[in-house]
Amino acid sequence: MDKINKIAILTGGGDCPGLNAVIRAATRTAVLKYGVEVAGFINGYKGLYLGHTVKLNMDKISGILPMGGTIIYTSNKTNLFQFPFVEEGETVYRDVSDVGVQNLKNAGIDALIVIGGDGTLTSARDFYRKGVKVVGVPKTIDNDLAYTDVSFGFDTAVSVATEAMDRLHTTAASHHRIMCLEVMGRYAGWIALEAGIAGGADAILIPEIPYDIEKVAEAVIRRRHAGKDFSIIVVAEGAKPISGEMVVSKLVEDSPDPIRLGGIATQVANELEAMVGLETRATILGHLQRGGTPTSNDRILSTRYGKAAVDLVMEGKFGHMVTLRGNRLSSAPLEDVIGNLKNVDPQGDMVETAKSIGISFGD
């Protein structure tokens, strides 16, 4: 294998608590363990296209461990394999990935660490197919990437959602209301499931288990008969009724994934209020789950991922993503990871535990 003298790091997709911890660990490992130079592409794949880099050294990464976001910024709208151009008033898409490959060569970069979710890692795989020495790091607060047990940022998102539920409990009880909390989770309900259990939800609605609103209402009515004139419902943004579809808040045409979900909690709240007769409120947690200081668990996991990514580079194990199975770090080919979502098992232990303690899934 050719000698690795310089590594670049790129963060793509939505921001996430722990990104800076990965950047810090990867930089420190490269510099201190291997004596390798490190650069960062600014604004994700957009920076790769424009050739915009910043030197990552010990001074640059000092103090970033507890910081949310990413010091090299990100973009969730840039796909160099389908890059938009406006010609004669119409948008056309072209493959400009060769520009990115050339910019890597121009900057003297021998290997690229890509930190992102399914969309970002899909481009990483495609660059690997073009001969770029790529290693991936899994990043998604939804925790829906295959081949790894936990992605960093997930623990923080669950903690934020759990705290929100704790706060909603007091106001729900005080006013005898139903409170519906909408959390992220487009196609996988991990945040809703774990936060719902941790926060004492009375019902959890997730994409993997289409719900019957009448059964959700029955769960609330049972609580009323037991003397509890309030209920807490946690709803994943991708939850949908048995006979319906996911609620789409808007379409973002210039994004590789144009669908933006949102509003299902409001729909559930309106239906429950009419059916049960209790005043109902909806809270959409939104990007609060993405921002701010990462938990200690996410800082540790991010540090392990960053170090492991550099180790994979130096071992020449390109085209792979760092994975965590149990407490063991390993890797999986990007070819296997891409397109394989890790969903909640409707018959799994976590769902069974929730049902055993009386939580309704509306099924």
Per residue in 157-206, pLDDT (tens digit) is 999 999 999 999 999 999 999 999 999 988 899 999 999 999 999 999 99
CA-based nearest residue to 231, from 59, 352, 362: 362
Q: What's the pLDDT score for residue 334?
A: 97
Say if residue 101's pLDDT is above 90: yes
Q: What's the pLDDT score for residue 64?
A: 97
Say if residue 1's pLDDT is above 90: no
Q: Are 117 and 139 in contact (CB under 8 A)?
A: yes
Task: Calculate the CA dihedral of residues 97, 309, 5, 31 and round it to 10 degrees.
Answer: 130
Average pLDDT over residues 122-141: 97
Dist. CA 58–CA 85, nearest whole Å: 38
Q: Apex CA 92: angle with CA 88 and CA 96, to 5°? A: 125
| Confidence tier at 257 by pLDDT (50, 70, 90) | low
Burial class (CB in 10 A: 0-12, 13-18, 19+), 255: middle
| Confidence tier at 226 by pLDDT (50, 70, 90) | very high
User: Which amino acid, residue 292?
Assistant: G
Average pLDDT over residues 298-321: 98
Say if residue 28's pLDDT is above 90: yes
| Confidence tier at 345 by pLDDT (50, 70, 90) | very high
Q: What percent of the chain has pLDDT over 90?
A: 86
Q: Which stretches of the chain are DSSP H helices?
A: 19-28, 34, 45-50, 97-106, 118-129, 154-175, 190-198, 213-225, 264-276, 296-315, 334-337, 349-356
Mean pLDDT across the chain, nearest whole number?
Answer: 94
| Confidence tier at 88 by pLDDT (50, 70, 90) | confident
Dist. CA 133–CA 214, nearest whole Å: 53
Q: What's the pLDDT score for residue 11?
A: 97
Say if residue 253's pLDDT is above 70: no
Q: What's the pLDDT score for residue 186?
A: 85
Say if residue 290's pLDDT is above 70: yes
| Confidence tier at 56 by pLDDT (50, 70, 90) | very high
Average pLDDT over residues 209-226: 95
Dist. CA 10–CA 34, nearest whole Å: 20
Q: Beta strand 248-251 with 83-87: parallel, antiparallel or unpaired?
A: unpaired
For 148-166, the DSSP string reads -S--BTHHHHHHHHHHHHH
CA-based nearest residue to 141, from 128, 131, 150, 129: 150
Q: What's the pLDDT score for residue 263?
A: 86
Q: Among the options 126, 142, 144, 298, which is catalytic?
A: 142
Please write down the HEC assignment for all residues of 244-294.
Answer: CCCCEEEECCCCCCCEEECCHHHHHHHHHHHHHCCCEEEEECHHHHCCCCC
Say if residue 262's pLDDT is above 70: yes
Say if residue 41's pLDDT is above 80: yes
Average pLDDT over residues 40-63: 97
Query: How many beta carbons lie within 10 A of that of residue 130, not counting itself?
Result: 12
Average pLDDT over residues 11-23: 95
Average pLDDT over residues 92-120: 96
pTM above 0.85, yes or no: yes
**Domains, the chain, with CATH or none:** 6-152+294-326 (3.40.50.450), 156-290+345-356 (3.40.50.460)
Say if residue 338's pLDDT is above 70: yes
Dist. CA 139–CA 5, nearest whole Å: 26
Is 349 annotated as catalytic? no
Q: Are 216 and 201 in contact (CB under 8 A)?
A: no
